[in-house]
Amino acid sequence: MTTLKDLAKMIDHSLLHPTMTDAEILKGCEIARKYDVATVCVKPYAVQMAKEALTGSSVGVCAVIGFPHGNSTTQIKVAETEQAIRDGATEIDMVINIGKALGGDWDFVRADIEAVNRACVENGAILKVIFETDYLKDEHIIKLCQICSELKVAFVKTSTGYGFVKQPSGDYNYQGATEHVLKLMRQHSAPEVQLKAAGGVRTLDQLLKVRELGCTRSGATATETMLEEARARGF
């Protein structure tokens, strides 16, 4: 039976909006501590601050790398990763080079992921690879799952939450962790590669659904709302 703790430890509490102040990030760390989630997911400059704020808790610190568009050079992604780990991050969420994937330059994409994964493994951290699935076709997602499986990365992840696609109306929106994408990623990733849903998981029912689809982690900003509802429903 799924418990409240099981659900809390699925959550990376996301503190990534570009307008977030340090005070808001620290408030988010307090929410993460209160509910004993898996990690807080923060921008690289905030890793040390979050680490200090969470001292004495079992909540880890996750840093995003090449975020949100994945276009830094591989060397910069590696340097950013190593710095984040020095500052206290134990998990790294890295965005692939999306244009290279769309262009079919799979050697580049593989080398980019491999270099960051090596920096993680050598420094005792784990890597989650963000695909930004709204920009990709099924064939790209499948190929990325195969590459990540071959490289034995810890997690594949759907989205940044900021991969906005221009709609026919001219508005920008994104779908994020859809059922179709999650099923595709779970089907084409090795069993030992875990799956993180990100983008659009805002209710308890959505969290339970992605769990059912094989996700062991989910990014969330609505952590408090979801877990209070879980408590009220007897989890």
Active-site annotation, residues: 93, 157, 196
Nearest CA among 187, 108, 100, 175 for reference residue 140:
100
Q: Which residue has the tokens 């418990």?
A: 3
Phi, psi of 64 (to 5 degrees): -90, 145
Give the CA count within 13 Å in the CB-facing half-sphere of 5: 3
Q: What phi-psi label fits residue 60: left (phi over 0), alpha (psi between -120 and 50 degrees) or beta? A: beta
Amino acid at 161: G
Residue 92, H or E segment: strand 91-95
| Token pair for 76 | 């910069």
The answer for residues whose C-beta is within 8 angstroms of residue 208's C-beta and 6 or more apart is 2, 7
